[in-house]
Amino acid sequence: DIQMTQSPSTLSASVGDRVTITCRASQSITIWLAWYQQKPGKAPKLLIYDASSLESGVPSRFSGSGSGTEFTLTISSLQPDDFATYYCQQYNSYWTFGQGTKVEIK
Amino acid sequence: EVQLVESGGGLVQPGGSLRLSCADSGFTFSRYSMNWVRQAPGKGLEWVSYISSGSSTIYYADSVKGRFTISRDNAKNSLYLQMNSLRAEDTALYYCARKHGTGYYYDYWGQGTLVTVSS
């Protein structure tokens, strides 16, 4: 089974900050990685797929990069609506999620 | 507008059974593969099961294999999850999620239905 490890688990940041979340896979998943945003009481929302492709309608301040085993999600300038929990997901072999990164207000 | 609406959750005793449903609208259901994903209270996301558009391919997570059965009725635009031999650790919010047409990520999710396994 492929394990996904996100870091950090919690991140405190201010509006306007540049934020980076890392996701590492236990083996190569090439580019088969997605990022989701989840707010309390809501379903996850797709942000990025195939490691770096931005889902339609998602603000351009979100970007993804990486390949193989190491990936990053970057928010270029954090907005009030971005305080949420973010999950990576591999779909190279079945599906596995990272444990999540909660972005909190500093 | 794509809509996925789960139902069927509730309180069940350990060892009991429950059948979840996901009613889908706003897209051609029969063309898309579907998944169940769960989230225990305060925890992360866990993939549970996958079914292809024509039901020919089905996968389960090891944690539910042999106890859960996924199925679909394309004529009724509905996805199902039959859950047997339920355990306390199956307590979670269960989401249905649509697999993207060409990619293996999930592009639409329902709002979830809560399953609580407790005596």
B20-32 pLDDT, tens digit each = 999 999 999 999 9
Which of B106, B108, B111, B114 is most worth mutating to test chain A (most A CB atoms within 10 A of its CB)? B106
Query: What does the pLDDT look like over A11-45, one tens digit per residue?
Result: 999 999 999 999 999 999 999 999 999 999 999 99
What residues of chain A lie within 8 A of the CB of B44, using their CB? 87, 97-100
pLDDT for A30 equals: 97
Query: What does the pLDDT look like over B37-89, one tens digit per residue?
Result: 999 999 999 999 999 999 999 999 999 999 999 999 999 999 999 999 999 99
Chain A contact for B102 (CB, 8 A cutoff) = no
**Residue B44 Cα, gap to closest chain A Cα (Å):** 5
Chain A contact for B95 (CB, 8 A cutoff) = yes
- Omega within 30 of 0 (cis) for the link into A80: no
Query: What does the pLDDT look like over A54-95, one tens digit per residue?
Result: 999 999 999 999 999 999 999 999 999 999 999 999 999 999
pLDDT for A106 equals: 87
Nearest-by-CA chain B residue for A89: B105
CB contact under 8 A, B45 and A44: yes
Closest CA to B99 of B38, B53, B32, B45: B32
- Rounded to 5°, the CA angle B57-B58-B60 comes to 155
Only one residue has tokens 């809560």, namely: B114
